[in-house]
Amino acid sequence: MAGKGKDASSSNTKGKKKEVKKETGLGLSVKKDDNFGEWYSEVVVNGEMIEYYDISGCYILRPWAMSIWEILQTFFDAEIKKMKIKNCYFPLFVSPGVLQKEKDHIEGFAPEVAWVTKSGESELEVPIAIRPTSETVMYPYFSKWIRGHRDLPLRLNQWCNVVRWEFSNPTPFIRSREFLWQEGHTAFMKIPNFLLLTKSCFISSCCRIKECLSCCGVKLLFLCWLQESFLVLEILELYRRIYEEFLAVPVIKGKKSEHEKFAGGLYTTTVEAFIPNTGRGIQGATSHCLGQNFAKMFEINFENDKGEKAMVWQNSWAYTTRTIGVMIMVHGDDKGLVLPPKIASIQTLNESGIRAEVDSRDNYSPGWKYSNWEMKGVPLRIEIGPKDLANNQVRAVRRDNSAKIDIPMANLVEQVNDLLNDIQKSLFEVAKQKRDACIHTVNTWEEFAEALIQKKMILAPWCDEEV
Ligand code: 86X
Same domain, 35 and 66: no
The predicted model gives 227-235 an average pLDDT of: 85
Strand partners, 247: none
Asked whether 399 lines ligand 1 (CB < 6 A), one says no
Is residue 362, in this structure, part of any structural domain at all?
yes
Dist. CA 171 → ligand 1 center (Å) = 19
Is residue 39, in this structure, part of any structural domain at all?
yes
CATH, residue 206: 3.30.930.10
Asked whether 131 lines ligand 1 (CB < 6 A), one says no
The predicted model gives 70-93 an average pLDDT of: 98
Q: Please state the pTM of the whole predicted model.
A: 0.87
Beta strands 301-303; 380-383: pairing state: unpaired
Mean pLDDT check: name the lowest of 34-48, 338-352, 434-448: 338-352
Nearest-CA residue for ligand 1 atom 16 is 109
Q: Which atom belonging to ligand 1 lies closest to the Cα atom of 105?
A: 13
Same domain, 175 and 215: yes
The predicted model gives 55-79 an average pLDDT of: 98
Strands, sheet with 115-119, edge to edge from the N-terminal-most edge strand: 93-94, 122-130, 115-119
Nearest to 72 by CA among 302, 202, 238: 238
Rounded to the nearest 10°, the torsion over CA 65, 90, 289, 207 is: -40
Asked whether 182 lines ligand 1 (CB < 6 A), one says no
Q: Which residues form the domain of 154?
A: 62-329
Alpha helices in 92-218 (DSSP H): 96-101, 103-106, 135-145, 193-204, 209-215
Q: Which atom belonging to ligand 1 lies closest to the Cα atom of 113?
A: 19
pLDDT at 132: 97
pLDDT tens-digit profile of 354-403?
999 989 899 999 999 999 999 999 999 999 989 998 999 999 999 999 99
Same domain, 226 and 105: yes
Same domain, 46 and 101: no
Is residue 460, in this structure, part of any structural domain at all?
no
Same domain, 26 and 167: no
DSSP 333: B
Same domain, 287 and 258: yes
Same domain, 208 and 257: yes
Whole-angstrom Cα distance, residue 365 to residue 29?
Answer: 21
Dist. CA 133 → ligand 1 center (Å) = 5
Same domain, 30 and 120: no
Asked whether 359 lines ligand 1 (CB < 6 A), one says no
pLDDT tens-digit profile of 125-139?
999 999 999 999 999
Asked whether 166 lines ligand 1 (CB < 6 A), one says no
Same domain, 377 and 400: yes
Nearest to 226 by CA among 289, 154, 292, 302: 289
Dist. CA 4 → ligand 1 center (Å) = 25
Q: Which atom belonging to ligand 1 lies closest to the Cα atom of 133?
A: 9
If one counts the domains in the chain, the total is 3
Strands (E) located in 54-167: 59-61, 86-87, 93-94, 115-119, 122-130, 154-163
Instruction: Tell which one of 109, 160, 271 to mutate to probe ligand 1, the residue whose CB is within 8 A of the most ligand atoms.
Output: 109
Cα of 381 vs its chain's centroid, Å: 27
Asked whether 133 lines ligand 1 (CB < 6 A), one says yes
Asked whether 270 lines ligand 1 (CB < 6 A), one says no
Amino acid 260 reads E
CATH, residue 426: 3.40.50.800
Under the banding of pLDDT at 50, 70 and 90, the label for residue 25 is low
Note every long-range contact of 82-89, with CB atoms under 8 Å and residues 24 or more positions apart, other chains counting. 83/155, 83/231, 83/234, 84/155, 85/155, 85/156, 85/157, 85/184, 85/186, 86/155, 86/156, 86/157, 87/156, 87/157, 87/158, 87/159, 88/156, 88/157, 88/158, 89/158, 89/160
- Percent of the chain at pLDDT above 70? 85
Same domain, 121 and 71: yes
Residue 8 has pLDDT above 60, yes or no: no
Same domain, 305 and 241: yes
Same domain, 272 and 419: no
Whole-angstrom Cα distance, residue 145 to residue 381?
Answer: 53
Burial 382-414 (b: 16+ CB within 10 A, else e): beeeeebeeeebbebbbbbeeeeeebeeeebee
Asked whether 286 lines ligand 1 (CB < 6 A), one says yes
pLDDT tens-digit profile of 174-197?
999 999 999 999 999 975 544 443
Is residue 448, in this structure, part of any structural domain at all?
no
Strand partners, 291: 314
Amino acid 122 reads S
Is residue 466, in this structure, part of any structural domain at all?
no
Phi/psi at 83 (nearest 5 deg)?
A: -90, 15
Is residue 450, in this structure, part of any structural domain at all?
no
Is residue 451, in this structure, part of any structural domain at all?
no
Which H, E and C letters describe 361-373, residue by residue? CCCCCHHHHHHHH
Side-chain-facing half-sphere of 416: CA atoms under 13 Å: 27
Strand partners, 405: 396
Dist. CA 293 → ligand 1 center (Å) = 14
Whole-angstrom Cα distance, residue 455 to residue 325?
Answer: 19
Which domain-ending residue is among 329, 360, 381?
329
Asked whether 109 lines ligand 1 (CB < 6 A), one says yes
Dist. CA 420 → ligand 1 center (Å) = 38
Dist. CA 182 → ligand 1 center (Å) = 12
Is residue 215, in this structure, part of any structural domain at all?
yes
Q: Which atom belonging to ligand 1 lies closest to the Cα atom of 268?
A: 6
Instruction: Tell which one of 107, 133, 289 to mutate to probe ligand 1, the residue whose CB is within 8 A of the most ligand atoms.
Output: 133
Strand partners, 286: 270, 318
Nearest to 7 by CA among 54, 61, 62: 54
pLDDT tens-digit profile of 258-287?
999 999 899 999 999 999 999 999 999 999
Under the banding of pLDDT at 50, 70 and 90, the label for residue 236 is very high
